[in-house]
Amino acid sequence: MQEPEQQQPLKNPRARLTPTPPFLRDVAQQYLNVRLLDPLTAYQVRGQHGIKPTAFLADSLLVRGRDRTTIATLEEVAAEAGFSLAWDARVAEDQALLDRAELAKDEREAIEAVWVRRVRLVPAEEPVQPVYKPIDTWRLLQAYRVRVMDDPQRLADVGLEHPASADPFTGAHPFTGAHPFTGAHPFTGAHPFTGAHGVSGSAGLDAYASPGWGGRQPVSWNGLAPTPSYDLDGTVPRPVVAVLDTPIGEHPWLRKEFVRHDVAVLGEPIGHHAETPAEEEAEESGMTEWMVGELGQDSGHGTFIAGLVRQACPEALVLDVPVFGNDGVVAESDLLRALQLMALRQLLARRDALPDEVTEPVDILVLSLGYYHEQPEDAAFDALLRGPIDLLGRLGVAVVVSAGNDATDRPIYPAAFAPHTPAGLTAHPGCVPVTAVGALNPDSTIALFSNDGPWVRFRRPGASLVSTMPTTYDAALEPTNALVNADAEWRTGLDPDDFSCGFGVWSGTSFAAPVFAGQLAAALAARLLAGDTTDRVALMRELLDQMPGAREKRPPAIDPAEVD
């Protein structure tokens, strides 16, 4: 009897689990209209690239341009599923805005080619079945793709709407702990997990959420305000840095001489602005839930970024373009609209055709946010977001993006639009490329939370930074101790959310990006002071190439045995 052939042992007997960025685990619970795309249950089409987990809005799609074939095909597949298309009310408003703009033919074609509109899927007016199941937008999108499979242009015209964010579930959140002091001895506790919003449950990552370890907390500043190197009377041009983030709050460093609010194009405000007294109160106080009274996850985010830009480039003029509130989340359609309006503004500003108070073209645009796409390997994976960003680059704007805080090498967008291989994303000579920035610790080591990948070309300080916070913030948390002494003077512990001092400590790649943007602005200011009149696209590309700390090649692996 022949003995059975001995089976070779498995090299790795344990099943390999696919790592998923932490935010995807909780997003469906945080936002009721957001769904998680699971590769194991999602509809797929033969021949398509594989699907990775992502978050998307459950009842809407994004549509680029105004191609009749695209719209007709989408209407057909929606009707077959028992639904119809309901276009966002701003579609007509935006078209009227473009009609008012005095654009040359090539300019109009360029802006309309990247203009994206939001469409909701609603039940048909006369449904076959009065009881219906909510639409599966991913299945509908796949049905659309099957119809246009042979037309790459139409294939990229329609996509999911993702929630972009500056909080943990997209990787750009600046590690904040809601309950900073939970031990009797906060400076010597052996368990630094006192932040209520840990990034991934890792001891090393959660530490950054704790005050004293880089988490958001008030701090005293005894230095001088940044002083410009030349007069800001208009004789010498100033670098213009647009910050698309939370609203920039009150601070002595951020007066109207240095920060301009209410940015608009042809009278149309750009970004989200408070529309109710409750929203105005939330912006001023930083509190999102008045019945609880705590600061929001991203309260002060944009103010902190503006202060970092000022520290690096005192000459800079910062444009405040709010795109999300204190929760740090923005629907992709709202982000796209802000970018599209910024591109339209840039087109007009380059020809000095803006009637607004701030007429200078933008030089640098800071985006400290992102999301993970479901099909990053696809050549047409995200033409919708990339379109307006590339157009801004062709108009001389350096778009600087945070790399993300999930300690992952999975591409996050728009950071991964930065030129890199093997994806084949190259820097077109007529375009300022996207720049992705990772974070460093104070000792210049790489911050543990910082995402990495070949698209991350630069790293800058991003942990335990000191910058500006709105002086109007004093939320519900109180000092651990408070008493009145014999002289009727208050003696207290630190108030963890009283930022009336105007300064705080915070961590995240959200802040490494504006550090780099400010340094780039300072290099531009020096050239402007010298009277440089080089074409702005060529000049910004040259300055980026000259910025120190570029990672042209990935460093060799380190042998753990060589580490002390």
Q: What SS3 string covers 44-109?
A: CCCCCCCCCCEEEECCEEEEECCCHHHHHHHHHHHHHCCEEEEECCHHHHHHHHHHHCCCCHHHHH
Q: State the DSSP string of 279-316.
A: HHHHHHH-BS-TTT-PBPTTTTHHHHHHHHHHHH-TTP
Helix (H, G, I), strand (E, B), or coil: what is residue 479? coil
Q: Which of 355, 362, 269, 367 is nearest to 317 (CA)?
A: 362
Kindly state the average pLDDT of the residues 524-533: 95
Confidence category of residue 29, pLDDT binned at 50, 70, 90: low
DSSP state of 148: T
Backbone conformation region of residue 421, classed left if phi is above 0, alpha if psi is from -120 to 50, else beta: beta
Q: Is the pLDDT of residue 95 over 60?
A: yes
Q: Which residue has the higher pLDDT, 451 or 22?
A: 451
What pLDDT sits at residue 28? 56
Instruction: Report domain extents, the chain.
Output: 22-164, 203-327+356-380+392-546
pLDDT at position 10 is 46
Which of the residues are catalytic?
Answer: 245, 301, 510
Give the domain 203-327+356-380+392-546 fold.
Answer: Rossmann fold (3.40.50)
pLDDT level of residue 553 (50, 70, 90 thresholds): low
Cis peptide preceding 422, ω within 30 of 0: yes
Give the Cα separation of 413 and 439 in Å (integer): 17
**Residue 38's closest CA among 57, 16, 15, 20?**
20
Q: Is 390 exposed, middle or buried (0-12, 13-18, 19+ CB in 10 A)?
A: buried
pLDDT at position 379 is 52
The H or E element spanning position 346 is helix 332-349
**Per-residue pLDDT at 521 exceeds 70:** yes
Q: Which of 29, 75, 18, 28 is nearest to 51 (CA)?
A: 18
To 5 degrees, how large is the angle CA 237–CA 243–CA 248? 105
Coil vs helix vs strand at 388: helix
Tell me, what's the pLDDT at 520? Answer: 98
Does the pLDDT at position 502 exceed 70? yes
Indicate if the pLDDT at residue 263 is higher than 90.
Answer: yes
Query: Each residue of 278-331: pLDDT tens digit?
Result: 888 888 999 887 788 889 889 999 999 999 999 999 999 999 999 998 888 899
> Can you read off the two tokens belonging to residue 94?
């935006």
For the segment 98-127, the average pLDDT, to the nearest whole number, is 90
Q: pTM for the whole thing? A: 0.88
Mean pLDDT in residue range 423-449: 87
Residues forming a β-bridge with 270: none
> Which range, of 197-211, 349-363, 528-542, averages the lowest pLDDT?
197-211
Quote the percentage of the chain above a pLDDT of 90: 56
Q: Closest Cα to residue 375, out of 52, 7, 27? A: 52
Digit-coded pLDDT (tens) for 164-203? 888 532 233 455 554 434 444 433 333 333 343 433 456 6
Q: What is the pLDDT of residue 174?
A: 52
pLDDT mean over 224-228: 95
- pLDDT for 112 equals 93
* Arithmetic mean of pLDDT, 208-226: 90
Whole-number pLDDT of residue 335? 96
Q: Is the pLDDT of residue 17 over 50?
A: yes
Q: What does the pLDDT read at residue 176?
A: 53
